[in-house]
Amino acid sequence: MTTESQILQEKALLLVTRERELNFLRNKHQRLTRWLTLSQSLPEIVNPRFGLAEIGAKFVQRILSVIKLQRVRLVEVRDDGLRPFGAARITLPALPPAAAVCLSGQRSGLVNEPASPGEMALAETLKLHRYLWYRVDACPEKTILLVGGFDRERAQSYLPFDQEDLEYFVNAGQHFELLLLNVLLLNELEADKARLEQFNDELERRVQERTAELAQAHRRTSEAFSELREKDRRLSEDLSQARAFQQSILPVLPQSDFVEFGACYEALDLVGGDIYDVAAIAPEHFRVFVADATGHGVQASLRTIVVKSEYDQIKHLCTSPEAVLGQLNERLTRTYADNEMLSTGCCFDIRLSGGEVTLRYSNAAHPPLLLRSSSGVTDEIYHRSSFLALDPEMTFRVEERLLSRGDVVIAYSDGFSEQSDPVGHFFDLREAVERQLATPRPLQEALADLQGDFDRFRTPQPQGDDLTLVAARIGVG
């Protein structure tokens, strides 16, 4: 094959690849647009001038007219059977116990091929094989189930559902749930108007607060859809912007007469799952924080942005590193469900008081802290602890040491310690630290050479994870 022919062939292949990418983005945008259209039309449907049965029927019909699903059901789950939402009579048999247990254990789910007893029982009752479901918790003492999908024969003609399909479906269900709550509240107010006349002032305050909450939730939903549309249109550009943003939230290392700071950071992809912060809490009190979100790439980088944002709100408020990790852990677990923000982390304070320099360190499943003494001996400081965002009741221990002039404290992510070379040996960070810090020189220069050691060690093996290292060298004592 001639060079010109080969070039033409490569261009053709590139065009095919770009066309596939464009088709993927176009389909994704169309799908998002359909769900957005559905969401924007819900206030017209979930309206207090309609009865509950009419609201349910209109909601189901609107989903079917906008989204490509074969069948959608909005049903009340009762002991004697399933009935359409707001209707008076039963039209489907009762749910088997296995399906009822499945619904009580979680609020939503995605089933491409029924596997568990609960999934199979639900599929058999609703005559669906591939389906999405969401439990609408809007009515007290009543379980409402929203289900959409395909029977076994029709499912063969469509792609399996993915996590994004489930997120759109849940979002529609939650929007419907919020609007339905408002309708039910207005109906209740109308029915009890005479009885609640004497509480009119309090009632108006509550209605205003609730209306404001619903309006704010609607604004957030609209803003989120707008952001999704923009991100979908500018995917490649957004990745570059995300990298620039992540770099921008990394701190400028503080300057001090009694401690010198240095840091190195390198994401595996355009964006990464590591983050660090060095902050002056007081003139002679510094706090260092390092975190490593599970995974890497875009999803992990989003987690680090959340973790950093939550940390920035508390780092000057907490009196100690263990309190920082405790507050951060509670915020992440109570705000983000299902371990979404799972990450390791460590925090340590360096403080000069009365001529003594004290190190206080706390750990959340993060790699050990390295302490290289002025005598050249490197020790590890470590205690076992749970991940951040795993258990809201988790408490964290603290280790305390006195530091001397020339001591160096190093926190790092496992991208350093778990990197292997082509024959399977792991990078010896401790040995590299001892070698690069053996002679007095600027700390940042030593860390740059340490990272050079790391790159030479792994080559030609690719970098396996994000890299973060923060060091502090004591200059008094």
In the block, tokens 């982390």 appear at 345
Q: Which residues, other chains included, contact 68 with Cβ-Cβ below 8 Å and sequence gap of 6+?
A: 34, 158
Rounded distance, CA 290 to CA 469, Å?
Answer: 8
What is the architecture, at CATH level 2, of domain 242-474? 4-Layer Sandwich (3.60)
In this prediction, residues 309-325 reach a mean pLDDT of 94
Which of 211-225, 279-293, 392-406 is least confident? 211-225
Pick the CATH number of 3-233 from 2.120.10.30, 3.30.450.40, 3.30.420.10, 2.40.50.140: 3.30.450.40
Q: For 322, what's the count of Cα atoms within 13 Å in the CB-facing half-sphere?
A: 12
The pLDDT of residue 317: 94
146 three-class SS: strand
Asked whether 430 and 450 are in contact (CB, 8 A), the reply is no
Q: What angle do CA 383, 297, 35 make, to 5 degrees?
A: 120
Q: State the pLDDT at residue 59.
A: 86
| Helix (H), strand (E) at residue 307 | helix 298-314
- pLDDT reported for residue 150: 93
Amino acid 216: pLDDT = 84
Percentage of the chain beyond pLDDT 90 is 36
147-174 per-position pLDDT tens digit:
999 999 988 888 898 898 888 888 988 8
Spatial contact of 86 and 56, defined as CB atoms under 8 Å apart: yes
Looking at residue 26, its pLDDT comes to: 62
* 8 Å CB contact between 77 and 91: no
3-state class percentages of the chain: helix first, strand second, coil last, to nearest 5: 45, 25, 30
CB atoms within 10 A of CB 431: 11
Contact 52, 85 (CB under 8 A): yes
Residue 90 pLDDT: 82
Q: Are strands 71-78 and 143-150 parallel, antiparallel or unpaired?
A: antiparallel
Instruction: Provide the whole-model pTM.
Output: 0.52
Return the pLDDT at 1: 57
Work out the average pLDDT over 129-156: 87
- Tokens 């979100």 locate to 293
Which residue in 42, 65, 273 sits closest to 172, CA to CA? 42
Q: What is the mean pLDDT of residues 448-457?
A: 93
Q: What is the pLDDT of residue 64?
A: 83
- Report which residue type is found at 98: A
Residues with Cβ within 8 Å of residue 419, at least 6 apart in sequence: 426, 427, 454, 457, 458, 461, 463, 464, 465
User: pLDDT at residue 109 above 80?
Assistant: yes
- For residue 237, the model assigns a pLDDT of 65
Helix (H) or strand (E) run with residue 10 in it: helix 3-45
Q: What is the structure's pLDDT at 95? A: 82
Residue 286, class by beta-carbon neighbours within 10 Å (0-12 exposed, 13-18 middle, 19+ buried)? buried
Confirm if 369 and 433 have CB atoms less than 8 A apart.
Answer: no
DSSP H or E stretch at residue 289: strand 285-293
Range 374-395 average pLDDT: 90
User: Which value, in Å, is the radius of gyration of the alpha carbons in the chain?
Assistant: 29
Q: What does the pLDDT read at residue 459? A: 92
pLDDT band for position 30 (50/70/90)?
low
Please state the domain extents for the chain. 3-233, 242-474
**Which tens digit of pLDDT belongs to each residue from 259-279?**
999 999 998 887 788 999 999
* pLDDT value for 243: 63
Task: Return mean pLDDT, the chain.
Answer: 85
pLDDT digits (tens, 9 = 90+) for 48-105: 888 888 888 888 888 888 888 889 999 888 888 888 888 878 878 888 888 888 777 7
CA separation for the pair 219, 46 (Å, rounded): 17
pLDDT at 425: 92
Residue spans of alpha helices (H) in 78-199? 97-105, 117-126, 152-155, 163-191
Region for 406 from its dihedrals, namely left if φ exceeds 0, alpha if ψ lies in -120 to 50, beta otherwise:
left
Q: What is the mean pLDDT of residues 2-7?
A: 75
pLDDT of residue 121: 87
Question: What was the pLDDT predicted at 454?
Answer: 93
Surface-to-core class of residue 124, CB atoms within 10 Å of its CB (0-12 exposed, 13-18 middle, 19+ buried): middle
State the CB neighbour count (10 A cutoff) for residue 317.
9
**Contact yes or no for 315/277 (Cβ under 8 A):** yes
Residue 327's CB: how many other CB atoms inside 10 A?
17
pLDDT band at 232 (very low <50, low <70, confident <90, very high): low
Q: pLDDT digit string (tens) for 176-225?
A: 888 888 888 887 887 777 676 776 778 788 878 887 877 787 788 777 77
* Helices and strands, counts by H and E, the chain: 13, 15
For residue 439, name the pLDDT band (cuts at 50, 70, 90): confident
